[in-house]
Structure 1
Amino acid sequence: MGNLGDRLPAAARAALAGCRGHFLSALMFSALVNILYLAPTLYMMQVYDRVVPTGGVTTLLALTLVLAAAIGTIAMLEAVRSRLMVKASMRLDDGLARAILARLIAKGQGGRGDPSSAQAMREFDTVRLVITAPTLIGVFDAPWTPIYVLAAVLIHPLLGLFVVCAGAILVLLTVYSDRATRRLTRTAHGAATRSVIVQEDIAQHAELIRALGMGRAMVDRQIAERAEGQAAGAAAQMATVRYAAIAKFMRLLLQSLALGVAAMLAIERQISVGAIIAASVLLSRALQPIEMLIGGWSNLQNANEAIKSLKKLLDDSSVEPVTTALPAPQGRVSAQKVVVRSPDGASVLLKGVSLDLEHGQMLGIVGASGSGKSTLMRVLAGGITPEAGKVMIDGAETGMWDAERLARYRGYVPQEPAFLTGTIAQNIARFTTIDPRYAEDLDHRVITAAQVAGCHGLILSLPGGYDCLIGRGGIALSAGQRQRVALARALFDDPAILLLDEPNAALDAEGEAALLRALDTTRRRGATIIVAAHRTGVLAAADRLLVLSNGAVDCQGPADDVLAVLAKRAGETAGNVVGLKGATA
């Protein structure tokens, strides 16, 4: 598997460094355990060479007590070593799980189908669980195999040579096992990742699948994805089992042959009778770590593939730098020549879009479907990073801000509002965690946001009110209810910047009236508002308009000037289509 420290980026290396003490202690205990494992060998030699010929019962009792103490110490050291591995696993989780989850959120814009993030926490758990598996104990025991070779050499050089040759045979089996399973393990890993992606699609769109009668097709697709992975995984496991069986056969055979070699030496009176049994025990103990490695090779291969995915996810080049804490933004928003490509790079979604909005102003973004409105809103909200150009808040590029801190001053309603599993109150509060002593203050802030959004009564009408569970596993809100609760979430803690993407697409007359009141309240407190909409009644109060066409700015400026340009181009129908001011609202 190579050196993990060299193969992982800084975050993983730092986490592993925190576990170094545990690993070194486990290695030291492994040395003590392997030295003490010589006790049964010495016990047998003394019993056969001293006790049996002399009938020394007292000597047998003393030797037995010493052996019991040695075995008891071995048991204690192995228990401590196992605890160290568990502690190391937990320490690794504390040091790296947060970084992985943070990178998953930051990399979410890369698409749910990105193999490096599809099952990142499962990959991490695969690596973490290998630490506590018996296979790693074999890795720790392997360096101490020379102890048993040396003990065999001290009995007779021929026995030492026999142990070395036996070990070489099992090492060759390990190499062949690696060659036989590496490609299969990689194939199984890739198929498992694709299978997870399909499962996510099925779970997220189950209602649509049922409605359109795609259930059987999706099941067939999932079974096909699983079949490839299952076949490769089964083949890898079979290969591992096959080589493990061969290794076990060879170990038992070599152990028996060691008895034969020792017996021959004893017949020639080159070693004692007790050394015959000792030779077999020494060989068995020397080969045990290698046999453990062969038996757990598939686990090591899975961990190896998991490390590759984690390395891709935790690439150092994508780690956000530590930023200086800038003052709370007033709300000036600008963008300069923003360019965004589609995830596959085949098309340009935004073509050098620029805008400049003073704090307290309201900008309306209009354009046909596919013109780039939602993409621009996602860029302004920090959801995606443009390929070229920059977005600035109060004159500072967004990269100069801490992303989490900046988000507290920005409210955002996406085109398709989504909620995480939790209560309505938790979602509106953006899952803010505070000291329980101040829970009442948080509740007040949540209710205030809902009241400004005009959905306080709506929430109270739901089962459990603010404690109603929503998101996956909770109750299903209607499209209009989702938009109104999403508006409350966006208005939580009075953000300086409010971004709304089609906020009235699913609202009825009551909901749209509540939205207009919320916008008026937000404007009066001096917030900057950017709204993209098809139903343009919500843009009647806009100070400025920006018209997008095929990802480029068609025209922008003060609302009256833009309306005049559109009217000049298309006559009075422009007023009816855009419908932004006066009677056209």
Structure 2
Amino acid sequence: MINSLPSRKHSSCDRRDRTNAPMIFSSKSDPYRKSLARLKPALWGVAGFSAIVNVLMLTGSIYMMQVYDRVLSSGSVPTLVGLFTIVVVLYAFLGLYDFLRVRVLARAAVHLDQALADPVYRAWLRSGVPGAAGRDASAQPLRDLEALRGFVGASPMAGLFDLPFVPLFLAVLFIIHPWLGFLTVAGSAVVIGLTLLNQAMTRGLAQKTLHHDAAAQDFAEGGKRGAEAVVAMGMHTAITTRWRGLHDDALAAGQRTSDPNEALTAFSKAFRMLLQSSILTLGALLVLRGEITAGTIIAASLLSGRALAPVDQVVGQMRGVTTTWAAHRRLADFFAALPPPSTPMDLPTPTGDITLNGVTKFAPGDSGPDQKRLLSQVSFTLEPGDGLGVIGNSASGKSTLAKLLVGVWEPDMGELRMGGATRDQWDPAKLGPHIGYMPQSLVLLPGTIRDNIARFDEEASDADVMAAARMAGVHDMILALPEGYKTTVGGTSGTVQLSGGQVQRVGLARAVFGKPALVVLDEPNANLDTTGDEALTAAIRSLRAGGTTVVVMAHRPSAIAAVNKVLVLNNGQQVQFGPKDEVLGKVLAPVPSKQSPQQVASVRQTGCAKAPDPSALPEASPAAPQTGAIR
């Protein structure tokens, strides 16, 4: 469903959020269904092998009938040897075809994973960006794909292929004697009924168990991420108590789920053993009545066991079957919701000219007529080589603008163009290397420092990596580390713990790697010392001299020392835009009496720590934002 927007007049450049547009796909355009379709030849092969295997499964029953009815009555050893030789050959083929179908299923599972792993992982990465287009916080495609791969390549899948051949064994039983067939059918019905009852009784409880498990796991992961604060402030006991409560809830829910399952499983096992004995008893009765031979008793027991084996296997793995089916449905829905594949034009290399026209962004997840606006009607233009400093108080929309500029978020209304083209006209794989981004919350990925600076591009040259490090002023710092550029950082495998300032400077080197056409830095000097500030300013000047457009979101004035334009935001609205000296002159001008002395002092001290009230600024108001081209 498309989220309804507030009633308003839309400009000609307004666009609905593409993430909310309904998508209708045929199997030809859905990569998941295409991958499943490519498995059909393999599955047909498995079905063929299963048919041969199940026919060969009759070997034991027929052999026992011949031994009891022919060999024992005649006492012929050559007949026994001949029959046994045939049995050896048939069981050899049985083993061969059973091995082939298991091997084909295992390979099919691997091929399915290989076909879907890349889009699933990209979507999983995307889910880590709050409010990003295509993000579904509840999606778990990686785990769903793992569950599907594990099921396809495991024995329960082979059991499903054996199910269609259960009527074969029942038919043989009916041929031997109808009573044996009816008894086996009745027993199978009871086993299936117990399974369905078990599923009905535990379905809702299983969902609650999953919910409690997820809550406990999320809290445990959060505690691990915040371990420094937990240790420093002595929060161990309180955190452990809270986690233990969630963990106990999960255990209790799991026990409530397993109670009926344990009882029904035990009863089902006892019933299957009783059924085998019932088959022998009925067979003996029929022998006494002269309706079947003695050898038929053993054959009937083997046939009934074989007829029930696939049922028992599927019943025993019913939870896994249910879980896999749910994973299949989620994956199908997940891929159906992805944007249709497109082939963008091979546009020229971007040069860093940026145009925003009435760009508006609503708070992610917010809907209804009172949607909160993170940005409202922001418009400006940047030319290659320009430097823009974006200032404003906290929650003014600076980080939102940064995410929109680099494509993490898409505008809900208005247009954002780079090189004259909107984001959807570019191939992301080709546009990405021409964009540098340094977010507020910077995380280095597990790998070497060289890997992180080179954006994990295996073809990146050492010269380009060191050039980026020198531009960020971090080359000497890296050389001083134990293994230099080969030092492992990030995750649990990192051999060196970098400081916040060091992480920011490595992140700056990653952002400027390859001299992108657009570099967006969100609070780049939050953890930098004086030397880091100087390196940042030098990097911005160097980028601009090379024709790169640089946008800096800043609280500290030193971050915008090397820019030539300034944008002032307040509560998501554009207050001022233009040449730096002109805009800062207005911001630092004598403030009307509407502002308190504390506000005046804050503005004069930092120039950007507190954006002025729009109504208090001369020549500017939220209703009439100032725009203009960069000179």
Aligned partner of 1:40 in structure 2 is 60
Where do residues 432-471 of structure 1 align in structure 2 (5 Å cutoff)? 432-434=457-459, 442-471=461-490
Secondary structure class of the residue paired with 2:437:
strand
Superimposed CA distance per residue, residues 325-371 of structure 1 (whole angstroms, 9 cap, x where no aligned partner):
22110111122333333344274322232222122211110001121
Aligned partner of 2:513 in structure 1 is 492
Does the 8 Å CA contact 1:8/1:307 hold for their aligned counterparts? no
1:127 aligns with 2:148: yes
Question: What CA distance in whole angstroms lies between the structure 2 residues aligned with 1:9 and 1:321?
Answer: 10
Question: What CA distance in whole angstroms lies between the structure 2 residues aligned with 1:559 and 1:254?
Answer: 88
Aligned partner of 2:423 in structure 1 is 398
Secondary structure class of the residue paired with 1:476:
coil
Where do residues 369-408 of structure 1 align in structure 2 (5 Å cutoff)? 369-408=394-433
Q: 1:550 aligns with which of 568, 571, 584?
A: 571
Question: What CA distance in whole angstroms lies between the structure 2 residues aligned with 1:233 and 1:307?
Answer: 23
The amino acid that maps onto 1:65 is T
Question: What CA distance in whole angstroms lies between the structure 1 residues aligned with 2:79 and 2:608?
Answer: 106
Does the 8 Å CA contact 1:421/1:472 hold for their aligned counterparts? yes
Superimposed CA distance per residue, residues 108-160 of structure 1 (whole angstroms, 9 cap, x where no aligned partner):
3237996534x542332122212233222221111100110111122122222
Secondary structure class of the residue paired with 2:147:
helix
For residue 522 of structure 1, report the CA deviation from its aligned partner. 0.9
Aligned partner of 1:214 in structure 2 is 235
Greater Cα offset, 268-277 or 566-575: 566-575
Does the 8 Å CA contact 2:106/2:152 hold for their aligned counterparts? yes
Secondary structure class of the residue paired with 2:519:
strand
Superimposed CA distance per residue, residues 414-452 of structure 1 (whole angstroms, 9 cap, x where no aligned partner):
123211011110000000023xxxxxx611110011111
Q: 1:116 aligns with which of 134, 138, 142?
A: 138
Question: What CA distance in whole angstroms lies between the structure 1 residues aligned with 2:440 and 2:413?
Answer: 24
1:362 aligns with 2:387: yes
Aligned partner of 1:164 in structure 2 is 185
Where do residues 526-537 of structure 1 align in structure 2 (5 Å cutoff)? 526-537=547-558
Aligned partner of 2:526 in structure 1 is 505
For residue 200 of structure 1, report the CA deviation from its aligned partner. 2.9
For residue 32 of structure 1, report the CA deviation from its aligned partner. 1.0
Q: 1:578 aligns with which of 582, 586, 607?
A: 607
Superimposed CA distance per residue, residues 270-322 of structure 1 (whole angstroms, 9 cap, x where no aligned partner):
22221122111111110111111111112123323433543454343445633
Identify if the C-alpha distance between structure 1 residues 283 and 58 changes in structure 2 by more than 3 Å, giving closer, same or farther.
Answer: same
Aligned partner of 1:51 in structure 2 is 71
Greater Cα offset, 366-375 or 468-477: 468-477
Greater Cα offset, 526-535 or 125-134: 125-134
Q: 1:430 aligns with which of 441, 451, 455?
A: 455
1:88 aligns with 2:108: yes
For residue 413 of structure 1, report the CA deviation from its aligned partner. 1.2
Does the 8 Å CA contact 2:194/2:268 hold for their aligned counterparts? yes
The amino acid that maps onto 1:116 is S
Identify if the C-alpha distance between structure 1 residues 239 and 443 changes in structure 2 by more than 3 Å, giving closer, same or farther.
Answer: farther
Q: 2:305 aligns with which of 278, 281, 284?
A: 284
Secondary structure class of the residue paired with 1:337:
strand
Does the 8 Å CA contact 2:131/2:365 hold for their aligned counterparts? no
Aligned partner of 1:416 in structure 2 is 441
Where do residues 156-305 of structure 1 align in structure 2 (5 Å cutoff)? 156-305=177-326
Question: What CA distance in whole angstroms lies between the structure 2 residues aligned with 1:244 and 1:28?
Answer: 32
Extract unaligned runs of 5+ from structure 2. Answer: 1-24, 593-599, 610-631
Superimposed CA distance per residue, residues 202-223 of structure 1 (whole angstroms, 9 cap, x where no aligned partner):
2322112222333333333333
Question: What CA distance in whole angstroms lies between the structure 2 residues aligned with 1:244 and 1:135?
Answer: 17
1:324 aligns with 2:345: yes
Question: What CA distance in whole angstroms lies between the structure 1 residues aligned with 2:564 and 2:341?
Answer: 35
The RMSD of aligned alpha carbons is: 2.6
Question: What CA distance in whole angstroms lies between the structure 1 residues aligned with 2:398 and 2:341?
Answer: 27
Extract unaligned runs of 5+ from structure 1. Answer: 435-440, 581-585
Question: What CA distance in whole angstroms lies between the structure 2 residues aligned with 1:115 and 1:139?
Answer: 33
Aligned partner of 1:563 in structure 2 is 584
The amino acid that maps onto 2:167 is P
Superimposed CA distance per residue, residues 438-471 of structure 1 (whole angstroms, 9 cap, x where no aligned partner):
xxx6111100111111111111111211111111
For residue 9 of structure 1, report the CA deviation from its aligned partner. 9.1
Secondary structure class of the residue paired with 1:59:
helix
Greater Cα offset, 408-417 or 387-396: 387-396
Question: What CA distance in whole angstroms lies between the structure 2 residues aligned with 1:154 and 1:401?
Answer: 69
Aligned partner of 2:158 in structure 1 is 137
Identify if the C-alpha distance between structure 1 residues 203 and 130 changes in structure 2 by more than 3 Å, giving closer, same or farther.
Answer: same
Question: What CA distance in whole angstroms lies between the structure 2 residues aligned with 1:550 and 1:417?
Answer: 24
Aligned partner of 2:172 in structure 1 is 151
Does the 8 Å CA contact 1:240/1:297 hold for their aligned counterparts? no
Aligned partner of 1:583 in structure 2 is none
TM-score, normalization by structure 1: 0.91
Question: What CA distance in whole angstroms lies between the structure 2 residues aligned with 1:426 and 1:79?
Answer: 43
Secondary structure class of the residue paired with 2:444:
coil
Question: What CA distance in whole angstroms lies between the structure 2 residues aligned with 1:359 and 1:326?
Answer: 17
**Residue identity (%):** 35
Secondary structure class of the residue paired with 1:142:
helix
TM-score, normalization by structure 2: 0.85
Question: What CA distance in whole angstroms lies between the structure 1 residues aligned with 2:562 and 2:64?
Answer: 95
For residue 201 of structure 1, report the CA deviation from its aligned partner. 1.7
Identify if the C-alpha distance between structure 1 residues 6 and 205 changes in structure 2 by more than 3 Å, giving closer, same or farther.
Answer: farther
Greater Cα offset, 441-450 or 350-359: 350-359
Does the 8 Å CA contact 2:391/2:553 hold for their aligned counterparts? yes
Which has a greater percent of helix? Answer: 1
The amino acid that maps onto 2:91 is I
Identify if the C-alpha distance between structure 1 residues 285 and 300 changes in structure 2 by more than 3 Å, giving closer, same or farther.
Answer: same
Question: What CA distance in whole angstroms lies between the structure 2 residues aligned with 1:530 and 1:152?
Answer: 80
Question: What CA distance in whole angstroms lies between the structure 2 residues aligned with 1:569 and 1:395?
Answer: 39
1:352 aligns with 2:348: no
Greater Cα offset, 189-198 or 404-413: 189-198
